[in-house]
Amino acid sequence: MNYSRREFVKQGANALIVGLTLRNSALQVFAVEENVTRGVLPSPRSVSPNELDSWLAISSEGNVTVYTGRVDLGTGVQTSFAQVVADELDVPFEAVTMVMGDTALTTDGGKSTASSNSNRGQQPLIRAAAEARRVLLAQAANRLGAPVETLSVQDGIVSVQGNPSKKISYAEIIGNKRFNTRLKASIPPDNRGTMLEGTAPIKTGNFKLVGKSIPRVDVPEKVAGTWPYVHNVRIPGMVHGRVVFPSAPGATLITIDEDSVRGVPGVIKVVRKGNFVGVVAEREEQAIQAARQLRVTWSEGTRLPRDKHEWLRNAKKIKTEDTSRGDVVAGLAKAVKTIRATYKTPIQNHGMIGPSCAVADVRDGQATFWSGSQWIQGNRRDLAAMLGLPLEKVRGVWLEASGSYGRLACDDAAPQAALLSQAVGRPVRVQWMRQDEHAWAPMSPPTLADMQAGLDAQGKITAFVLEGWSPSHSSGESGNSVAWRLVGGNPGHTRLSGGLGGHAYDFENDRTTMHYVEELLRAIYMRGPGSYQTCFAIETFMDELAAAANADPVEFRLRHLKDPDSIAVIEAVAKNSGWQTAPPYSKKISNRRGTATGRGISNATTGRKAAVVADVEVNLETGKVRVTKAVIAVTCGRIINPEGMRHQLQGGLIQGLSRSLMEEIKLDQTRVTDSDWLSYPILRFPEIPEIETILIDRPDSEPDGVGETASIPAAAAIGNAIFDATGVRLREVPFTPFRLRQQQLERQR
């Protein structure tokens, strides 16, 4: 199939959509890609979500173009979206082209996330395809003089069953013409994505493409170096900007000494707007030099806490949410044993390999920007409001960035590029430096969870209590980009997200109290926001309870579960890992030259169900932990692309292992002190374990995304394995050698 940038769409005077599909020669394909990365954009088209034509068009050659505001974050949805649409329409996979994330061409599909793209992102595309098929079949019935019920479709050709010579193609019916069909779109206020309603039946079985491991359409160009990343945008007259960030969060600008960059060649302008400071130069390295050399004095910033978890407990509360079932006080009173523990997770950085980057061209009362944003329409609204431009004068064009894992839910580079472009009247490209991305990106916030549970004499949980503290995981989203905050007058972002709590267990008495507290540092969703932290607390606590009940951790979980999917994934990992039934840290393990081995299980629930068994090897001298093998099982409804899913699970698990073993953003009392990959290391090739993935297909239930699913159970699986190996219980992520040694020494006392 072709992908978005290969389609050059023009809207003629008669409002017909003319799709000129350049698919024949590689040379032509590159010409079109170059047009986009060089700033030549297709003419705008109607993007009303209530029009079928806004979602889908069929050319006179039978090529299908699908328009969506959802974008591919490197997870492969432009392949899987094309798969489901091709299947629904009964056209070949190669006939479908995805156009993604251009505010002048696509409707607002809501924020793109790896967990929602395959359900909420996909829903309107399937619905639009089904409606298109309904319209096409009705017209075919008319033209062929046969009732709709007697028609069948194969490869875009409608024929009469039993009389295959009576046939007509989709292209003949509608080629280059509009459907002119109204649909009902519902757009939720929480920006989770447009859903479409309609009357056409939707396939629930007999799939031809769904369930097949179709190779990703982007990989060949990614390995050839020709994929149009946002970092490659190069438009005529473009110059380079760099942002000069404050000395610390909360610091305000006192003075700028422009003389300090007088000698730097190529400098066009030092830009100041409120507390926003940037430089623009002819060449990239000149902008970098000027940003480094510019002398700026800042006020002192916000005082940051010495102990962020103590801070969480005492921080100003924004909201407390309380959910309960049964009576935990009575449940605890019945217990023969009561267990308490506190779990802490750190501030973590998304760690995009390619830093934030965007290009903006703000001139003559209008703006165009190219961004890797996960929500190009949200970025567009912010940018228009910040610049004081009418929304219709702003166009946002998405191009893929580095994998963002939530970080680009609000792209910070685009508004910065826009401010600089506005100041110099030329297109400006902004790219963050590595230290900016480590210190100034919105982060995954720290969390604290106090857990308490009672066990009866039979080893059943009588009450389960979680009290959690965390800032919202989305304070850095729309209305709160770093540039707009520095300029001032931004509305902020008040939606609360990522609260702790949630599991699949069937506890009689169960209570969760979640305190959302004020912002510590700007925060944004990171692969399983809140779920990763919740799962660490609950699943480690379950292991502690199993140990207290002298029970096997697998059996102990199963005795508290009724949910069939949770049971299925746990049983699958137990079976494939060759789980040996025994309470944690009860097996006599042979210690080979100062190492101990152990194994732990963890089970995650976030709509999707996942379970992981991790094997670890702990160096008892150094405290270093190596995960040697992991087995993961997942259910996520109907599987669209099994290999694509497997890659997501492996990737998510590896990222989860990395976060759990080594990742923690460090602060001094004024600012983030991490600035690069040495101060904030991530897992490297020699440390990657063998991974076995078990995909449990549920063909009768709707598909769901798995981008987050595998990261979530990682921490508890490793922590439980460390306990199994050493008897040391780690209740704070990450499990650094220092923490492990410290706990070992404490135990020996």
Partner 1 sequence: MKFALRVNGKLQSVDVAPETPLLYVLRNDLELDGPKFGCGLGQCGACTVILQDQAIRSCSMRVDAVGRREITTLEGIGSRGRLHPIQEAFVSEQAAQCGYCINGMIMTAKAFLDKNPRPAEPAIRQALAGNLCRCGTHLEIIRAVQRAAQTRSASPSGQSLKKRGTA
* Chain residues that interact with partner 1, rule: CB under 8 A: 26, 30, 73-76, 215-216, 218-227, 229, 231-232, 234, 265, 283-285, 350-355, 400-405, 431, 433-434, 643-644, 647-648, 650-655, 658, 676-678, 682, 684-686, 688, 691
Q: Which is nearer to partner 1, 85 or 691 (CB)?
A: 691
The rounded distance, in Å, linking the Cα atoms of 319 and 616 is: 39
Asked if residue 127 lies in contact with residue 133, where contact means CB atoms within 8 angstroms, the answer is no
Smallest distance, partner 1 to C-beta of residue 223, A: 4
Smallest distance, partner 1 to C-beta of residue 436, A: 11
Q: Which is nearer to partner 1, 127 or 407 (CB)?
A: 407
Smallest distance, partner 1 to C-beta of residue 413, A: 13
Q: Which is nearer to partner 1, 277 or 654 (CB)?
A: 654
Task: Give Cα 283 to chain centroid, integer Å.
Answer: 33
Half-sphere exposure of 10 (CA within 13 A, CB side): 8
Smallest distance, partner 1 to C-beta of residue 57, A: 26
Residue with tokens 């449990």: 696
Q: Which is nearer to partner 1, 34 or 61 (CB)?
A: 34
Residue with tokens 């492996």: 650
Task: Give Cα 191 to chain centroid, integer Å.
Answer: 15
Q: Which is nearer to partner 1, 405 or 585 (CB)?
A: 405
Smallest distance, partner 1 to C-beta of residue 225, A: 3
Q: What does the chain come to in residues?
A: 749
Smallest distance, partner 1 to C-beta of residue 218, A: 7
Residues paired with 605 in a beta bridge? 609
User: Would you tell me the crossing angle of helices 642-662 and 714-726 to the nearest 10 degrees?
Assistant: 60
Q: Which is nearer to partner 1, 75 or 474 (CB)?
A: 75
Smallest distance, partner 1 to C-beta of residue 185, A: 30
3-state class percentages of the chain: helix first, strand second, coil last, to nearest 5? 30, 25, 40
Strands 461-471, 510-517: pairing is parallel
Smallest distance, partner 1 to C-beta of residue 231, A: 7
Q: How far is CA 227 from CA 92, 213, 397, in A?
A: 24, 22, 15
Q: Which is nearer to partner 1, 156 or 644 (CB)?
A: 644
Smallest distance, partner 1 to C-beta of residue 351, A: 5
Smallest distance, partner 1 to C-beta of residue 619, A: 18
Asked if residue 230 lies in contact with residue 358, where contact means CB atoms within 8 angstroms, the answer is yes
Smallest distance, partner 1 to C-beta of residue 283, A: 7
Q: Which is nearer to partner 1, 25 or 180 (CB)?
A: 25
The residues, any chain, with a CB within 8 Å of residue 113's CB and separated by 6 or more, are 73, 374, 406, 409, 525, 705, 707, 708
Residues paired with 448 in a beta bridge? 344, 469
Asked if residue 669 lies in contact with residue 306, where contact means CB atoms within 8 angstroms, the answer is yes
Asked if residue 144 lies in contact with residue 166, where contact means CB atoms within 8 angstroms, the answer is yes
Q: Which is nearer to partner 1, 33 or 88 (CB)?
A: 33
Smallest distance, partner 1 to C-beta of residue 2, A: 13
The rounded distance, in Å, linking the Cα atoms of 99 and 312 is: 44
Residue with tokens 């003089």: 145
Q: Which is nearer to partner 1, 73 or 151 (CB)?
A: 73
The rounded distance, in Å, linking the Cα atoms of 720 and 616 is: 10
Q: Which is nearer to partner 1, 403 or 498 (CB)?
A: 403
The full 3-state SS of 408-469, as one line of letters, equals: HHCCCHHHHHHHHHHHHCCCEEEECCHHHHHHHCCEECCEEEEEEEEECCCCCEEEEEEEEE
Question: Which backbone phi and psi does 242 adopt, to 5 degrees?
Answer: -135, 145
Q: Which is nearer to partner 1, 106 or 655 (CB)?
A: 655
Smallest distance, partner 1 to C-beta of residue 25, A: 9
Two tokens at 607?
Answer: 């709509």
Number of CB atoms found within 10 A of residue 215's CB = 12
Residue with tokens 């046969």: 146
| CA nearest to 483, candidates 574, 422, 555, 404 | 422
Q: Which is nearer to partner 1, 281 or 423 (CB)?
A: 281
Burial class (CB in 10 A: 0-12, 13-18, 19+), 322: exposed
Q: Which is nearer to partner 1, 2 or 566 (CB)?
A: 2
Asked if residue 698 lies in contact with residue 607, where contact means CB atoms within 8 angstroms, the answer is no
Smallest distance, partner 1 to C-beta of residue 612, A: 14
Q: Which is nearer to partner 1, 433 or 549 (CB)?
A: 433
Number of CB atoms found within 10 A of residue 697's CB = 14
Task: Give Cα 585 to chain centroid, integer Å.
Answer: 36
The rounded distance, in Å, linking the Cα atoms of 301 and 483 is: 17
Smallest distance, partner 1 to C-beta of residue 361, A: 18
Q: Residues 194, 197, 203, 208: is their CA dihedral positive or negative?
A: negative
Two tokens at 639?
Answer: 């599987």
